[in-house]
A and B are shown apart, each in its own frame.
Chain A
Amino acid sequence: MTPVSSRNPNHVPHILLMASTDAEQYHFGTNGEAKPPPPKKQKLCSFISESEIQSEFSHHDASVARINNGSFGCCPQSVISAQQQWQLRHLRQPDGFYFNDLRAGILESRKVICSLINADDVSEVSLVDNATTAAAIVLQQVAWAFSEGRFDKGDVAVMLHYAYGAVKKCVEAYVTRAGGRVIEVDLPFPVSSKEEIITEFKRSMERGKLNGQKIRLAVIDHITSMPSVVIPVKELVKICREEGVDQIFVDAAHGIGCVDVDMKEIGADFYTSNLHKWFFCPPSAAFLYCRKSAKFTDLHHPVVSHEYGKGLAIESAWIGTRDYSSLLVVPSIVEFLNRFEDGIEGIKKRNHEEVVKMGEMLAKSWGTHLGCPPDMCSSMVMVGLPSCLGIASDKDTLKLRAHLRNHFGVEVPVYYRAPKEGEVDPVTGYARISYQVYNKAEDYEKFRHVINKLVSDKFCCACLSV
């Protein structure tokens, strides 16, 4: 080997391609510097203080009672800084970044997620933009199964009535176009126990098997979006296994950082969760878990690059020139989490306790109720709005939401529940309140006060202009 002298002070006598073992030894701290991995549970002398938390979220609009973490999530300053470091590394020398840093960084993030969600193997974990992308990946292979004859025309996909709009459209588009049939599971709302949900689900399984058709796919939310309820996902997966459902896909957009996310416990074939909702990631990032033992080999990212055919995780790690920085900050997020007492577990527990407390405070003040019992809430809860507000349609909820935002500085999504026949003075509107580490009691007190004022001013949605 002929040594060649170099003008480069970092000269190495031969090319070193970054091996995956290198990535095991490094992660990048909040300033983008390479650091050895932290111990699993960091014992700190003191935990992050209230004022430090407020400082981390000081970029939030202070005039807004931001009680809607569920829609778009949040990202602390220290993670934003880490992200900017990654972005700068790309801009500084993008070829060097692409060849030396990007893949190792993504692998590192995947490893962190793998251990957080109790997956067997890092090959089961892919990083994608969001849960909607994950749904497209799973549904695409279902569509191929239909068109290539592995599934028969008329075979069934089951999903919840309250599945996210975009996912529903995805299921309909891929399954229906390919000749399959879609069944929606009607769920009661308000709901008083998980048994109600289990019963409805079993009923839909029966409908799906009529005429000897097979149920090929079940799409189950872990936490529904609107109205938001925690679904007994482990029990529903078990029912699906008993019924011989081919593929079980859990859409847990809100999952990680909100509820317990243990792949082996839950037992689904596919599980996706957004990292930018409750896991403090900047927009946008999500993981898609694909159970290895299920041997699904036909999973592809819909955006095809030269990595096509190398496995979903590798395909997803390069979908053309992009800003991958939001996928790279996962180790920095873990550092942030570890500043809290009991880390992510502590955050989840406290968020849940606070949101239930705030929800009950609001319901009491308004004379309404919560949409589900506390054990079916996560860090979000549906709170009934006074019926005199006259919420009579989906459109009303959008108008009311905008009115609250523009006139009162309260950010909260509102859900319309159509009243059942014979209901007297029904509660037709529910606010989905969220609680995240940056929230304070004042945020909910402001909301309580605003609604009480609207009620006493005899406000109703019909008064709002279109």
Chain B
Amino acid sequence: MNGGDDTRNLGAAHRNGNNHHHSAKRPKISLPISESEIREEFSHHEEGVARINNGSFGSCPASVQSAQKNWQLRFLRQPDDFYHNTLSEGVLHSRTIIKGLINADDVEEISLVDNATTAAAIVLQQVGRGFAESRFNPGDSVVMLHCAFQAVKKSIQAYVTRAGGSVVEVELPFPVTSKEEVIDAFRLGLRRGKQDGKTYRLAIIDHITSMPSVVLPVKDLVSICREEGVERVFVDAAHAIGSVKIDVKEIGAEFYVSNLHKWFFCPPSVAFLYCKKFELSKDMRHPVAFQEHGNDLPVGNAWTGTRDYSSQLVVHSAMEFVERFEGGLEGIMARNQRDVVEMGKMLADSWGTNLGSPPEMCASMVMVGLPSRLLITSGDDALRLRSYLRVNYGVEVPIHYQAQSQREEGDGPRDKDGGRITGYARISHQVYNVADDYYKFRDAINELLKKEFTCRMIFTE
């Protein structure tokens, strides 16, 4: 697939940033992709590994890799020409596709960055400048979830705390049985965190939390933020695109970021950062890019020095891949959700445990309780168990240690043996997964139980 030539033609059509939903215009003239074609596209995946962790690092089909190599070659062949004549058109095309997918108003609102971690740095640096330049008062705060991604927490420390801001952490319940539980807990947390004379300058809310993974009612949470006087909201939706439908206008946040290399079949790494238009004039800068014409988003994001921009240029190739499936992206999302919930239930039934959230609060991932007898008693145990499963059973799945919450009434869910469930596996389902992947995991755990294995038995050098 020659990614470059297609772009030159499509670029002209998209240059005006027309509100054009890509998939709606394409006529379906061929059969949907077959099982064997899917296997072929992912034949580079390591054999013998039950790869049920698409959530961490995503996946990229061979046809998109091929398109990427073409872009890389074009750069290497004549880099000056590429930079002057090709790059910005290609990036604009990618941004235009994303604008259509997420229902943004204007392509100027879409910037491409490396990943959600970079986007967090951009937003938090801006907040940090608010403190450093005394537009914010010492003690004004940033709100985050207790389960926020570790990189985001550290970024808050580096840019907000250091500059004199304070941090309010809101704990959400887990396991969870309804979105109302989340809404109530969030509202309570915001109210509790309020201090006289202090302003909530920013709230950072996940669309789909990482660990433990749950789809949050993000639209409702943004409304609550408005009610409680939060100035701006940043939605960390690292997992969202390709997992759930995204409508940034409906969600209403000022900033929204999602990785395209997780669930949208792009190679590492590329993410989009959406900034509501009026925010763009307010000093949003890329942390690295400083160009003659300024490093304001999104211009700054198109050129952060000599880089390999190929992953940003294959968005339309990923789109073409997605459209080979029945129902396109929506079909993929619906089937992933159906299958991951089915596999989750299968595992929970076999082990006598539970699921961490109801189906309507899952997308392509679900948390499955692990048997209490494994004795997962810390984050370290969880990490070691994960490595153990990788090395000894060829199963790749992240494990979450769920400490007992102080908010919980009673002492949390128990498994069929009556023991407390302290560990959850986050299983993912992507188009390349098959039922055998999950059976393999099921059997591995059952074997460990049979041998009376516990996490205490894992040694590290």
Contact = CB atoms under 8 A, between A and B. Distances in A.
Given A15-B459, A306-B150, A321-B259, A91 B288 contact: no
A96 B393 contact: no
B121 A303 contact: yes
A357 B290 CA distance: 36
Contacts of B77: 59-61
A326 to B, nearest CB: 7
Given A1-B459, A15-B388, A326 B308 contact: yes
B394 A7 contact: yes
Interface string B152-177: 00110111001100000000000000
Contact of A169 (B46, B159, B291): B291
A402 interface: yes
B157 A308 contact: yes
Interface stretch (B23-31, B32-40, B53-61, B329-337): B53-61
A40 interface: no
Interface stretch (B88-96, B299-307, B369-377): B299-307
A132 B261 contact: no
Given A2-B451, A132-B305, A411 B81 contact: yes
Interface stretch (B112-120, B188-196, B242-250): B112-120
A166 B289 contact: yes
B306 A274 contact: yes
Interface string B68-91: 000001011111110110000000
A104 B181 CA distance: 44
Contact of B44 (A19, A88, A303): A88
Contacts, number: 225
B115 A322 contact: yes
Given A95-B56, A302-B288, A132 B304 contact: yes
A64 interface: yes
Interface in A74-89: 74-75, 80, 87-88
A93 B290 contact: no
Contact of A129 (B290, B294, B305, B457): B305
A325 to B, nearest CB: 9
Given A4-B392, A166-B290, A75 B76 contact: yes
Given A2-B451, A14-B459, A72-B79, A96 B396 contact: yes
Contacts of A166: 289-292, 305
A6 interface: yes
Best-buried of B394, B451, B453 by chain A (most CB within 10 Å): B394
B269 interface: yes
B115 A321 contact: yes
Interface in B337-387: 384, 387
A321 B261 contact: yes
Interface in A1-20: 1-2, 4, 6-8, 10-12, 14-17, 19
Contacts of B132: 147, 178
A2 to B, nearest CB: 5
Contact of B290 (A75, A132, A144): A132
A170 interface: yes
A284 B288 CA distance: 14
Contacts of A72: 75, 79-80, 83, 306
Given A8-B393, A17-B460, A60 B305 contact: no
Interface string B200-211: 000000000000
A73 interface: yes
Contact of A8 (B259, B392, B459): B392
A380 to B, nearest CB: 15
Q: Which 9 A-B residue pairs are closest in the complex by CB-CB distance?
A: A320-B117, A94-B57, A72-B79, A302-B287, A169-B290, A306-B150, A320-B115, A308-B154, A304-B155
Interface of B: 44-46, 48-49, 51, 53, 56-60, 65, 73, 75-81, 83-84, 114-118, 120-121, 124-125, 132-133, 150-151, 154-155, 157-159, 162-163, 259, 261, 267-269, 285, 287-292, 294-295, 304-308, 311, 384, 387-388, 390-394, 396, 451, 453, 457-461
Given A90-B57, A94-B58, 8 more contacts: A8-B392, A14-B460, A15-B459, A96-B390, A130-B306, A133-B304, A135-B290, A321-B268
19 contacts: A4-B453, A14-B460, A15-B458, A15-B461, A61-B78, A66-B78, A72-B306, A74-B76, A87-B267, A92-B45, A136-B290, A169-B294, A284-B306, A302-B287, A303-B114, A304-B121, A308-B151, A321-B57, A326-B308
